[in-house]
């Protein structure tokens, strides 16, 4: 069975600084996606960044980037120049692909607070 | 484009009452998912459908829960009878089942409180 582990229940960072959120996963599949979703207090689930497992290049989206280590099954999220609006729960998630895709499996989340 | 639409956004009911949550997926998506979010258990998959057919309902807690997808544009999650432990936020999400992006698009969730 696939599992996703986020070992940091809470983190805080000063505005404009950089923070890294950790995620590890376990799977025997070779084709899959990894995601980071953000859930602000409004509770809307918002996709932050996506990584396809077959791509060696780490994904980036503006201030957000990932460090994808496939052999180590690690998928961390780096947020640069943190902003107050980044305060939210962040969920790491895994999904197999190919054929009929399965469901999205989430970690327990990391609560990030950005302080002024 | 309209996103995933869920209703109601908030529901307060008394133990024993029937609750029906509704979802309209994004047009063209052929996979639909129901998740439940609680502080204790996080985000749990309840059930998902591909092309209106239930594929995995192993997360449905018990017989009190049922889900239907009568057509590609509508799904319901019903709890009968409801219990206080069912209090949670219920999310519906949709996606393509066979496209390379893999992303799930979520509705705004339905917050259920059972007194």
Give the nearest partner residue to A43 out of B97, B100, B109, using CB atoms. B109
* Closest to A75 in 3D by CA, of A28, A21, A27, A2: A21
**Which chain B positions have a beta carbon within 8 Å of A42's beta carbon?**
108
Mean pLDDT of the region A94-112: 83
Write down the mean pLDDT value for chain A.
Answer: 93
Tell me, yes or no, if A105 comes closer than 8 A to chain B by beta carbon.
yes
Q: How many CB pairs under 8 A join A and B?
A: 52
Mean pLDDT lowest for which of A64-68, B32-36, B56-60? B56-60
Across B40-63, average pLDDT: 91
Average pLDDT over residues A77-85: 97
Alpha carbon B91 to its chain centroid, in Å, reads 5
Higher per-residue pLDDT: A90 or A28: A90
Kindly list the residues from chain A whose CB atom is less than 8 angstroms away from the CB atom of residue B102: 33, 35, 50, 52, 95, 97, 101
Q: For chain A, what percent of residues have pLDDT higher than 70?
A: 97
* pLDDT confidence tier of residue A101, bands split at 50, 70 and 90: low
Report CA dihedral (B61, B101, A1, B65) to the nearest 10 degrees. 10
**Phi-psi label, residue A55: left if phi above 0, alpha if psi -120 to 50, beta otherwise:** beta
**Does residue B50 sit at the A interface (CB-CB below 8 Å)?**
yes
Q: Taking 90 as the threshold, does the pLDDT of residue A104 lie above it?
A: no
Q: What own/partner pairs with CB < 8 Å and gap ≥ 24 does A24-31 have?
A: A24/A72, A24/A73, A24/A74, A24/A75, A25/A73, A25/A75, A25/A92, A25/A94, A26/A2, A26/A73, A27/A2, A27/A73, A27/A94, A27/A96, A29/A2, A29/A96, A31/A96, A31/A97, A31/A98
Q: Which residues of A62-80 are buried (b: 16+ CB within 10 A; e: fewer)?
A: eebbbebeeeebebbbbbe
Spatial distance between the Cα atoms of B9 and B23, rounded to a whole number of angstroms: 11
B91 to chain A: which residues are within 8 Å by CB? Answer: 45
Q: Does any CB of chain A come closer than 8 Å to the CB of residue B2?
A: no
Q: Which of A26-30, A35-39, A42-46, A49-53 has the lowest mean pLDDT?
A: A26-30
CB contact under 8 A, A91 and B43: yes
d(CA A6, CA B68) in angstroms, rounded, equals: 33
Does A58 have pLDDT greater than 90? yes
3-state secondary structure (DSSP) of residue A26:
strand
**B53 and chain A in contact, CB less than 8 A:** no
CA distance B78 to B11: 13
Choose the closest CB to B97 out of A43, A44, A100: A100
User: Which of A29-38, A76-85, B98-107 has maximum average pLDDT?
Assistant: A76-85
Give the side-chain half-sphere CA count within 13 A for B36. 20
B112 in Cβ contact with B19 (< 8 Å): yes
Chain center to CA of A13? 17
**Taking CB atoms and an 8 Å cutoff, what residues of chain A touch B55?**
100
Split at pLDDT 50, 70, 90, the class of A91 is very high
């Amino acid at each position: 069975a696939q599992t996703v582990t986020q070992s940091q229940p809470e983190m805080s960072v000063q505005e404009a600084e950089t923070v890294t959120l950790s995620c590890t996963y376990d799977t025997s599949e070779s084709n899959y996606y990894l995601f980071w979703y953000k859930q602000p207090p409004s509770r809307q689930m918002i996709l932050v960044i996506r990584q396809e497992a077959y791509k060696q290049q780490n994904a980036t989206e503006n201030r957000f980037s990932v460090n994808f280590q496939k052999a180590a099954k690690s998928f961390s999220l780096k947020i640069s120049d943190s902003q107050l609006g980044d305060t939210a729960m962040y969920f790491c998630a895994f999904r197999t692909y190919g054929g009929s895709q399965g469901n999205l499996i989430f970690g327990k989340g990391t609560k990030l607070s950005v302080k002024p | 484009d309209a996103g995933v639409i869920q209703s109601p956004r908030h529901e307060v009911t008394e133990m024993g009452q029937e609750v029906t949550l509704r979802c309209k997926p994004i047009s063209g998506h052929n996979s639909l998912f129901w998740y439940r979010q609680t502080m204790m258990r996080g985000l749990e998959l309840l059930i998902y459908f591909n092309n209106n057919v239930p594929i995995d309902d192993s997360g449905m807690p018990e017989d009190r829960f049922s889900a239907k997808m009568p057509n590609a544009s509508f799904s319901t999650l019903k709890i009968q009878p409801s219990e206080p432990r069912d209090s949670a936020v219920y999310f519906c999400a949709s996606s393509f089942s066979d496209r390379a992006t893999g992303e799930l698009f979520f509705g705004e969730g339905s917050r259920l409180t059972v007194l």
